[in-house]
Amino acid sequence: MSKHFQVLVIGGGTAGIMVSSMLKRKNSSLQIGIIEPTDTHYYQPAWTLVGANTYNYEKTARPMASLIPKGVDWIKEFANKFEPESNKVITKAGLEITYDYLVVAPGLKIDPDMIDGLQDAMDKGIVCSNYTNPKHTWEILKNFKGGTALFTQPATPIKCGGAPQKIMYLADEYFRKVGIRKNTDIVFALPSGSIFGVKIIADTLMNVVDKKDINVRFFHKLVKVDGNKKIAWYEIVKDLSGGGCVTIADGDEASLDRDIQYNYKDVKVTREGDLYGIHFDMMHLAPPQRAPDFILNSPLASETGWVDVNKGTMQHVKYANVFSLGDVSNLPTSKTGAAIRKQAPVVVENISKLIESNVLSGKEYKGYTSCPLVTGYGKMVLAEFDYNQNFEPDPKLKQFPLMIADSSKEHWRLWMLKKYGLPYLYWNKMMKGIEV
């Protein structure tokens, strides 16, 4: 059995639905198919708020059938194999689907197996993640009685790189509210040497960290989690030859040089060979993330495993009728819904122009993305930036009703945008193919 479409879209997430909707708005006669196996579509940016008990989880979910654009054929199957030389996709059930143009946007895969022991510990006991089960995160925060609260992230790319911090700031405020913050050390361990890639935003966040007295441990690459012993094991990935050093005491106890820490806290750290284990009483993490296997092992993938596209046009570097956007592409920008909001119109314009006249539109994506960085209940910073890490706030932020003079600083109106404005725009504009 086989089918053919003018445009075939892989994925019914933010990117796939948005591109399909915009194409249909532009040309209702287009024959479009979406390959998507799941029944439910989630607005995942709200899961941080779910994990902090300030947003209803049920409101983040809608039936996939309600979002598939009218006139678009929904193929409820798993994509399994690409044959771009013959313009063909084969599903796991063996259905062969051919296309004139292909849009690859299945999203990324969360892979706990990339960290030893994480699969056994994930979303069980005192280990949680808003990326997988935000309701479990809230249960852990609610039942936490004090000790070491560890927040961490992997060395892989992740959806919304700022998300591991947001829940940490909310946890800090919740712990203060219930009176256990004085009995708690909050530790943020991350593999990079900076808390955020855009300097003006990093400066703001370091002020937040200072104000909240959070211990930040740089250059910590998470490699193993022992859920039973409550230890997260790290490699120190900084080149320490330039003066920094790791100091190891006699016996099992170890401490790290303060050169790679900020707001040092004397939490329990154990040595095991070259690894350093931080003992925790609760742990929230962003799990490792990568491209799905059918992407990773396909002719569409680059050496890094992501779909290999031109960063401006999002056209595949080898196959001219293939485009990719969103989390699965190798675009050198953050993997966020805000990035997709700017990527989708470019893909749509380029495909439309190719169908019409066999040339690209000339429209290019400049790397825009944004990261809404919640810094507490009722406070948020909005990081907007391009490929070059330039801070580029939307001029609309200064207009009524937001009237934000500087979105690099904490503001309650940005919190309102996060909690109410962005979900509205997502469901009522982006998912309906309306450019915002």
pLDDT tens digits, one per residue of 33-58 = 999 999 999 999 999 999 999 999 99
pLDDT score, position 400: 82
Stretch among 50-59, 120-129, 241-250 having the lowest mean pLDDT? 241-250
Token duo for residue 302? 């680059």
pLDDT band (50, 70, 90) for residue 247 = very low
pLDDT band (50, 70, 90) for residue 2 = confident
Shared-domain flag, residues 308 and 278 = no
Burial of 177 (0-12, 13-18, 19+ CB in 10 A): exposed
pLDDT band (50, 70, 90) for residue 244 = very low
From CA 309, how far away is CA 323, in angstroms rounded? 7
Among residues 366, 395, 426, which one ends one of the domains? 366
Note the pTM of the prediction, 2 decimals.
Answer: 0.94
Among residues 285, 304, 323, which one ends one of the domains? 285
* Within a domain: 53: yes
Q: Is the pLDDT of residue 252 over 80?
A: no
Token duo for residue 80? 């399994």
pLDDT score, position 242: 38
Shared-domain flag, residues 102 and 116 = no
Q: How many other CB atoms are found less than 10 A from the CB of residue 228?
A: 10
Shared-domain flag, residues 103 and 129 = no
Average pLDDT over residues 257-275: 86
* Within a domain: 425: no
Shared-domain flag, residues 152 and 59 = no
For every residue of 387-435, DSSP letters joined together read TT--B---GGGGSTTT--S-TTS-BHHHHHIIIIIHHHHHHHTGGGT--
pLDDT score, position 253: 40
Q: Are 139 and 125 in contact (CB under 8 A)?
A: no
* Within a domain: 118: yes
Q: Is the pLDDT of residue 424 over 70?
A: yes
Shared-domain flag, residues 301 and 277 = no
* Within a domain: 21: yes
* Within a domain: 13: yes
pLDDT score, position 233: 98
Rounding to the nearest 10 degrees, give the CA dihedral for residues 28, 29, 31, 32. -10
> How many CA atoms are closer than 13 Å to the CA of 72, on its beta-carbon side?
34
Shared-domain flag, residues 234 and 264 = yes
Residue 141 dihedral angles phi and psi, to the nearest 5°: -60, -45
Average pLDDT over residues 133-150: 98
* Within a domain: 408: no
Shared-domain flag, residues 98 and 145 = no
Token duo for residue 141? 């925060």
* Within a domain: 278: yes
Shared-domain flag, residues 138 and 263 = yes
Shared-domain flag, residues 145 and 89 = no
216 bridge partner residues: 188, 262
Q: What total number of domains does the chain contain?
A: 2
pLDDT band (50, 70, 90) for residue 260 = confident
Position 164, amino acid? P
pLDDT tens digits for range 348-366: 999 999 999 999 999 999 9
SS3 436: coil
pLDDT band (50, 70, 90) for residue 246 = very low
pLDDT score, position 238: 74
Cβ partners under 8 Å of residue 237, min gap 6: 155, 191, 219, 220, 221
Shared-domain flag, residues 309 and 265 = no
From CA 169, how far away is CA 20, in angstroms rounded? 37
pLDDT score, position 245: 32
CATH at residue 98: 3.50.50.60
Considering Cα of 404, then 407, then 410, then 415, what sign does the dihedral take? Answer: positive
Q: Which domain holds residue 195?
A: 112-285
pLDDT score, position 258: 54
Average pLDDT over residues 256-275: 85
Q: Tell me 263's DSSP state.
A: S
The percent of residues in the chain predicted with pLDDT above 70, rounded, is: 95
Q: Are 52 and 28 in contact (CB under 8 A)?
A: no
Among residues 366, 396, 430, which one ends one of the domains? 366
Q: Is the pLDDT of residue 249 over 60?
A: no
From CA 284, how far away is CA 421, in angstroms rounded? 27
Shared-domain flag, residues 6 and 99 = yes
Residue with tokens 């712990």: 175
Q: Is the pLDDT of residue 158 over 80?
A: yes
For every residue of 287-332, DSSP letters joined together read PPEE--HHHHTSTTB-TTSSB-B-TTT-BBSS-TTEEE-GGGB--S
* Within a domain: 6: yes
pLDDT band (50, 70, 90) for residue 259 = low
pLDDT tens digits for range 298-336: 999 999 999 999 999 999 999 999 999 999 999 999 999
Known catalytic residues are 160, 371
Shared-domain flag, residues 233 and 247 = yes
